Structure 1
Amino acid sequence: MIIGVGVDIVDVPRFKRQLTRTPALVTRLFAESERTLSLRSLAARFAAKEALVKAVGDPAGFRWHDVEIVSDELGRPSFRLAGFAAESVAAHGIETLHLSMSHDGDSACAFVVGEGSAR
């Protein structure tokens, strides 16, 4: 059963301006494993984190570092959750998260589906 759906899109040039203006954002928004990725990949990961919050439906207490996007050997992205993010997802009945990310030109986007058992 689908518990929640979230989508987000990021304007890459605007995201770049924000990171240039405030370089500490990279450290604040991304896990150490994410920080060396390309600008477009960072923008897509930011969109994924925002889409996750929308899929859960409750942003209170989420910390950026509790949400890490990792890829399997085929390049498929997924979430690695810790702390309050993991607790919140579980508390909302979400057992499985599906993530799709893409970037093209000046846009990066992400789509998240939260799935769980019927209660």
Structure 2
Amino acid sequence: MSKAFTDAEVLVAEVLSFLAGDVERLIQFFEATGLSASLIRQAATDPGFNQAILEYAASDELRLLELARHAGRDPAHFASAATAIDTSPESQTTSPRAALNRPTNLARRYEATSPCE
């Protein structure tokens, strides 16, 4: 397992802990991703889960700053970790990737019906 992937797993745990620490943040996460409490464990086995969580964390500047303060890390660390573990063909190009601006597709993969199940 690569060091980048291991570092990303630690950051993902920090993101999920941060989200779980506040009901409103957790609800926003479920609404944005379409996931539910009952699907998180299953979704976590998806190869793209870590990257999706890190992209979600970095997709809102205020949330990212609050998360970074909570974790005691530089905000750029979360975005760079998502990029470091990205193995999609698009990541192999030299053009910059757009920031996440829509819900992830994790929920569709797991046939989520409503958040917070």
TM-score (norm. length: structure 1): 0.31
Bigger proportion of residues as helix: 2
Structure with higher RCO (Cα < 8 A, 6+ apart): 2
